[in-house]
Amino acid sequence: MLKFFRPSSLLVSLSVFILVLTLSLAYFVLNTVDKLYLEANNINNAGYIRGGIQRLSKLVIAQPAESQLAIEAEIDYLFKDIEELASKRHESSSEKRFQLAVVSLKDDWLQLKVLIHSFRSSQSETIKQQILTLSEVCWSKANDIVYMMQSMTELKVQRISRLFYFVILLNVISAIVVIVIILLAVRNKLEYDTSHDPLTGLLNRRAYDLAIASEIARFTRYDVPVSLILFDVDFFKRINDKYGHKVGDSVLKQLANQVLSSVRNIDSVYRVGGEEFAIVCPDTSAKGAHQLSEKIRKIIEQSEFDVVGQVTISLGVAQFGGLLNADSFYQNADKALYLAKNNGRNQSRLYE
């Protein structure tokens, strides 16, 4: 992942994602609380309708009272909320049954109101019995509606709980991913800093030592050739003295970029000293490495460097042999470099 994305950009994107997810979760919780409160209120309303119908019927039969009108008005008012709720529920079979149950209860309630109004004026025993019977029917239907609403609310709570835990899990996973990316980025940065030169971005002396040890081991096991090119900038001290170290650093950086673009994919370029560089050439004989060194020398000679203009380099080439070790291998390339510098610079020499 870090290979294809800048860690900083990826972390910002994930952090924004987590922030959005957290805000969404907060909104979800608040919205869910409101909905569950409304559900509980509707269940209470249905329960009031259930009890209110029976209470009203008993009061009407017992004796006329002003409170009867208040109860009747309250039941009518609460029916509006229940009917509105039922009109929105029509997706599942249970919601359709709930909708039909509310319609059936409303029809019975309207009939019961007609009977109650008739009984107030006539006090008929027949109407009285009809009120008792119909009130029991209404109570039973209202009771069923209460249980339906409770059941639907429980199912909703279960779905909400699953969604809630899913969002929490997604949030936790995202946080873990951010932590892992931070750890990987820190590790990669530490690995890069310990193996690369901060000025030129080239591999450093530590990386060179590890690479040479690996190449010597490969030579010992498979008898494949490996060559080393050492080079440095001719009269680099004069550049620093004349133009300053800032310009000298600029020359080294431009030189590093030129060399990197000139070598093969299998070659590795290192900054092993102040103005001294090394190129490790796997599967390459001394002759092949010498040809590469000449190619690099000509490219540098023909390049135009900022402020200073033309810059030249001297190079020494050596091939690893069976009787050598890492130090003697380096010394042989260094001897060839010393020979190139003593013979006029701006040339490459092969150790023989």
| Burial class of residue 63, CB neighbours in 10 A (0-12, 13-18, 19+) | exposed
Q: Which of 95, 1, 92, 109 is nearest to 57 (CA)?
A: 109
Phi, psi of 265 (to 5 degrees): -65, -30
In terms of DSSP bridges, do strands 268-271 and 348-350 run parallel, antiparallel, or are they unpaired? unpaired
Phi, psi for residue 259 in degrees, rounded to 5: -65, -45
| Residue 108, amino acid | D
Which residue's structure tokens are 């991913």?
A: 177
In one-letter notation, the amino acid at residue 52 is G
User: What DSSP character marks residue 305?
Assistant: B
Contacts of 120 (CB under 8 A, 6+ apart): 60, 64
What is d(CA 76, CA 32) in angstroms, rounded to the nearest whole number? Answer: 28
Tokens of 176: 């873990």
Q: Is 191 a catalytic residue?
A: no
Catalytic pick among 72, 154, 275, 304: 275
Contact at 8 Å (CB) between 214 and 205?
Answer: no
Q: Residue 298 CB: number of other CB atoms within 10 A?
A: 13
- List the catalytic residues: 275
